[in-house]
Structure 1
């Protein structure tokens, strides 16, 4: 075997190795793209569920606010009256400070 034939044989071997490595990397790349696609789908599903849960929570919170029984109505009125008194006190204090 001459030097050129040896070089050619080594070159062919290297090319075959590179082709095999390329095929492995190509397969790995396809698997990774599939994994990314699956993960993106999962993320979309989870985001949709989260949005729906947030909507359900807000609806429930709103329904709870609207659902006031007679006893709750008195409690709500007294709490509202207390808040109004507190706001009036704050306004009076601010007015005094502004006058000084």
Structure 2
């Protein structure tokens, strides 16, 4: 093996080691990114759950306010209650299927 061949082999080995190092770094980074993504997905799910709960609380507060309102708002209250009854009926129908 000539001196030039040895240099080429040495260069090849160095580049191969560098590529292996870069591969390891990218695998590590990929693992970190997957963990971060999983954390973000869990956070999004938690926030969606919180949002749903807040929507229910808000709707209940609106109903409570409407019920405690004056006689001029009785019609609106009846409409909201009718809407709730229809939603409950739909849910029951879905459960019976």
Q: TM-score, normalised by structure 1?
A: 0.67
User: Is 1:62 aligned to 2:63, yes or no?
Assistant: yes
Segments of 5+ residues of structure 2 without an aligned counterpart are: 76-97
CA distance in 2, matches of 1:18, 1:33: 22
What is the aligned partner in structure 2 of residue 12 from structure 1? 13
Q: After the TM superposition, list the runs of 4 or more consecutive aligned residues in structure 1 that deviate by more than 4 angstroms.
A: none
User: Is 1:51 aligned to 2:52, yes or no?
Assistant: yes
CA distance in 2, matches of 1:47, 1:4: 63
Structure 1 residue matching 2:62: 3-state secondary structure: helix
Q: TM-score, normalised by structure 2?
A: 0.69
Larger Rg: 1
Q: CA RMSD in A?
A: 1.8
Relative contact order, higher structure (CA 8 A, sep 6+) = 2
